[in-house]
Structure 1
Amino acid sequence: MRDSSTTTQASPTLHIVEFIALMALLTSFVALSLDAMLPALNQIGEALQADSLQQVHLTISVFFVGMGVGQLFFGPFADAMGRRAAILLGLVIFALGTVVCMSATSMDMLIVGRIIQAIGVSGPRIASMAIIRDIYVGDAMARVMSFIMMVFILVPMLAPIVGQLVLNAFSWRHIFTLFLIMTIVVGCWFFARQPETLRKDNRRPFRWKKLYASCLRIFRNRTVMGYTVAMGCIFGSFLSYLSASQTIFQTFYQTGDNFPYYFAALAFAVGLASFFNVTMVMRVGMKRLCRIALYGVISFSLIFTALIHQWQGLPPLWVTIVTMFCGFFFIGILFGNLNAMAMQPLGNMAGLGAAIIGSFSSLLAVPIAISIDSYIHTTLYPIGVGFMIFMSLAFLAVNFAERD
């Protein structure tokens, strides 16, 4: 596959601060759509007469199934029609899904709305990544990605708190009203300020035959696929925590309305890791940082599992928070760097590449998360053991990607 260094880069047109803020908001639609709902899961289950706790958790995990499908569409679309068209179309679809969720009368209808939302949010997620790749490469790209992660980490920190406030003042349906307002504001900002970054002579017209050939080239690239599998394993473990976080904090630990603050504290660990990455990635390099973080996250999973065993399945809340904070710090380092390293060889195939990377890692992560969550009943054993197994598999996948 052609090395990305031969690709003509687009020139930045926005001030770096505005560019980072805009890209961070576009990519944060995923976090907003997931985390603002968390405090309302019990009320949603009761209002829509959910069959089980697992069906309620499905409103979180199924989101990534929709994203997996959406990314496969928006990747080629972004390469053929341009980044702006992909983002604007995605925001429209996301808004339609939000309206379906607002008017849901059953869990099935809500899940359909969530899938539509997820398909739509794939447009901004994929195309914003491609815009960044159009302008930046290598360690500079990783640095911008880390800045973006540092900005949009405020969303998972604040979204559950905002969701709880909306829930207290209105109802769970108005959380989706918040999504709709943000869609309109960010869409107008993007439309007015960010020009197209993919030149017409670099676009790839959509043809099934070419799509198939491009997919084969990407799937046969050991570096891309190794890092992508690693991301899927890491994200699947993290998604198992995310889907069950309300159950863990409000049911196991009885934190009540304080749940969003504990959730925010752990989200801060990822933001802190991103800040650390910004300062170190240009000095140390992506690969070395990832290697250190992988050793750290495997050590965390072993220690956490041992602590769960020590306290017969449920350590004190402060022990869980401190241990998870350390583990999530290492995960935060891995998220931005692994994605940047997987995108590095893709050149003008950035849109399709981002689609396959995002889709494949998401579709791998969802069954991992569902399988771990299916064992969560009264203890944290499944979380600890799940992290231990899949972080080790991620380590093997990175070794495969970097094998000479």
Structure 2
Amino acid sequence: MVDSARHAPTGQALGLPLGIGRAEFVSILALLMALNALAIDIILPAFRPIADEFNLQQSTDTQFTILAYLIGFGAAQPFFGPISDRFGRKMPMVFGIVTYILCAAAGALAPTYELLLLSRVIQGIGAASTRIIAFSIIRDTHEGRAMASIMSLVLMVFMTVPVIAPAIGELIVLFADWQWIFAAMSLIALICGLWTWFRMPETLPVERRRPLTGRNVIEAFRIVLTTHSAFWYAFAAAGAFSVLFAYINVAQPILADYYELNRWFPVAFAVVAGLMACTSYTNSRLVQKLGQRTISHAALCTQLIVTGIFVLSAAFFDVPLWLFIVLSSLIMTSFSLMGANFNSLAMEDVGHVAGSASSILGFTQTVIGGIVGTAVGQLWNGTLLPVAFGFAAISLSTLAIVLIGEKGELFGSGES
């Protein structure tokens, strides 16, 4: 395995595409990423109506609408990376957005739960292009700490979606049928697609594109998988995103049912998501001074301590709502400090195959995160302890991965 430079460089912006400013550049990429969060968070208030519509036996069966989306989202990512390395970033992304729009509309018209899940899988396939290519565009134009800063700004806007999406979904199911949630997804994706088509320039010039042959694809994946930092931080990022997906799966039953917040669930969910967005913005400012390793490793240690407190609290007394909000906020803000920085560290040394690298990162994060997150969600049995154990196990596993990747050294001692 190729060992990358031990300490990441400070990095710089390589140059934004001509004809677009930094604010619009970040906004477009953030909206592209936000389509993924929207497809998950806006349907959370519709879990009960969907269960009633299709006569589902278990209330937790509605979680499969999230898993189905994540399966398509993760499975398609290894394909979009090499395709974007060959044909450029813009056209494959537009194709994915169109697929997203059509399948969201199909979900609204699905006559059976099985067809709803199928439309969600294909919708996830379309959405995969936005995640992969957005990260590739960032790597095309930035490196090092500057790349981590841009990723944090993108994730900051991305994190505002969980603040407003459940509230939008709640308003829709309050005044209309749940199918209109899928119509809303189609409309927002259409706006995003038009903005991308008319304003986002191509960031991968023809001379830097790689031929789309089996040999070249395998070679690109080999480069990523044999680069020490890319390999281990890909799995560390998967661990971080497992916590995010686990929280998404358990938030509704815990907040709405266990704590009986009911219609106030979107407000409680938005509090945590809002703190995550603020933390992502803070990271975009601090990472230029402190570096990705220092911030992400400190956040990981904090998350492990907090999940340990969560386990002990759930084991010995009934956790009040205020304490659950505090603990979940600390766990999820720690994720905000890890996500962008882990991705930046994984992408740093594989910029020449950015599309393929982004594919592997996205695939591991989505598939591993989706499966582990759903597994933690299925642990929910009306009590908090199994879920708390699930969060702690993920955090401990992520720490072990980072320790292996960093050869036992944390916090980037001497990081430039």
Alignment correspondent of 1:179: 185
Alignment correspondent of 1:367: 371
Q: State whether residues 89 and 133 of structure 2, in contact with CA within 8 Å, keep that contact through their aligned partners in structure 1.
A: yes
Deviation per CA, 1:228-264, whole angstroms, max 9, x where unpaired? 1112122223212211221111111111111000100
Q: State whether residues 126 and 355 of structure 1, in contact with CA within 8 Å, keep that contact through their aligned partners in structure 2.
A: yes
Alignment correspondent of 1:210: 216
Alignment correspondent of 2:412: none
Q: Does 1:101 align with 2:113?
A: no
- TM-score scaled by length of structure 1: 0.95
Alignment correspondent of 1:392: 396
Partners in 2 of 1:109 and 1:172 — Cα distance? 16
1:183, distance to aligned residue in structure 2 (A):
1.3
Letter in 1 for 2:372: I
Q: State whether residues 10 and 197 of structure 1, in contact with CA within 8 Å, keep that contact through their aligned partners in structure 2.
A: no
Deviation per CA, 1:16-54, whole angstroms, max 9, x where unpaired? 111111111011111111000000111011102223223
1:273, distance to aligned residue in structure 2 (A):
1.3
Q: State whether residues 40 and 163 of structure 1, in contact with CA within 8 Å, keep that contact through their aligned partners in structure 2.
A: yes
Alignment correspondent of 1:288: 294
Q: Does 1:198 align with 2:241?
A: no
How many residue pairs get aligned? The number is 402
Letter in 2 for 1:20: V
**Matched ranges for 1:42-81 at <5 A:** 42-81=48-87
Alignment correspondent of 2:258: 252
Structure 1 gaps of 5+ residues are: none
Partners in 2 of 1:263 and 1:73 — Cα distance? 34
Aligned Cα root-mean-square deviation (Å): 1.9
Partners in 1 of 2:247 and 2:290 — Cα distance? 30
Q: State whether residues 61 and 239 of structure 1, in contact with CA within 8 Å, keep that contact through their aligned partners in structure 2.
A: no
Q: Relative to structure 2, which stretch is displaced further, 230-239 or 110-119?
A: 230-239
Alignment correspondent of 1:232: 238
Partners in 2 of 1:227 and 1:195 — Cα distance? 29
1:187, distance to aligned residue in structure 2 (A):
0.8
Structure 2 gaps of 5+ residues are: 410-416
1:356 is matched with which residue: 356, 360, 367? 360
Partners in 2 of 1:139 and 1:45 — Cα distance? 45
- Secondary structure of 2:48's aligned partner: helix
- Secondary structure of 1:28's aligned partner: helix
Alignment correspondent of 1:130: 136
1:152, distance to aligned residue in structure 2 (A):
2.4
Q: State whether residues 57 and 244 of structure 1, in contact with CA within 8 Å, keep that contact through their aligned partners in structure 2.
A: no
2:350 is matched with which residue: 346, 365, 371? 346
**Matched ranges for 1:322-337 at <5 A:** 322-337=326-341
Partners in 2 of 1:20 and 1:7 — Cα distance? 16
Deviation per CA, 1:325-345, whole angstroms, max 9, x where unpaired? 122111110011111111111
Q: State whether residues 231 and 338 of structure 1, in contact with CA within 8 Å, keep that contact through their aligned partners in structure 2.
A: yes
Alignment correspondent of 2:413: none
Q: State whether residues 101 and 187 of structure 2, in contact with CA within 8 Å, keep that contact through their aligned partners in structure 1.
A: no
Letter in 2 for 1:390: I
Q: CA 1:37–1:268 in structure 2 vs 1: closer, same or farther (change >3 Å)? A: same
1:275 is matched with which residue: 273, 281, 302? 281
Partners in 2 of 1:278 and 1:216 — Cα distance? 31
Q: Runs ≥4 in structure 1, deviation > 4 angstroms?
A: 1-10
Q: State whether residues 12 and 147 of structure 2, in contact with CA within 8 Å, keep that contact through their aligned partners in structure 1.
A: no
1:217, distance to aligned residue in structure 2 (A):
2.2
Alignment correspondent of 1:266: 272
2:303 is matched with which residue: 294, 297, 317? 297
- Secondary structure of 1:153's aligned partner: helix
1:182, distance to aligned residue in structure 2 (A):
0.9
Partners in 2 of 1:161 and 1:398 — Cα distance? 36
Partners in 2 of 1:374 and 1:11 — Cα distance? 44
Q: State whether residues 301 and 327 of structure 1, in contact with CA within 8 Å, keep that contact through their aligned partners in structure 2.
A: yes
Letter in 2 for 1:300: V
- Secondary structure of 1:124's aligned partner: helix
Alignment correspondent of 2:414: none
Q: State whether residues 7 and 347 of structure 1, in contact with CA within 8 Å, keep that contact through their aligned partners in structure 2.
A: no
Q: Relative to structure 2, which stretch is displaced further, 360-369 or 283-292?
A: 360-369
Partners in 1 of 2:266 and 2:384 — Cα distance? 19
Q: State whether residues 232 and 364 of structure 1, in contact with CA within 8 Å, keep that contact through their aligned partners in structure 2.
A: yes
- TM-score scaled by length of structure 2: 0.93
1:7, distance to aligned residue in structure 2 (A):
12
1:201, distance to aligned residue in structure 2 (A):
0.9
1:8, distance to aligned residue in structure 2 (A):
11
Q: State whether residues 230 and 394 of structure 1, in contact with CA within 8 Å, keep that contact through their aligned partners in structure 2.
A: yes
Partners in 1 of 2:122 and 2:179 — Cα distance? 17
Q: Does 1:320 align with 2:324?
A: yes
Alignment correspondent of 2:93: 87
Partners in 1 of 2:48 and 2:77 — Cα distance? 30
Partners in 2 of 1:39 and 1:54 — Cα distance? 13
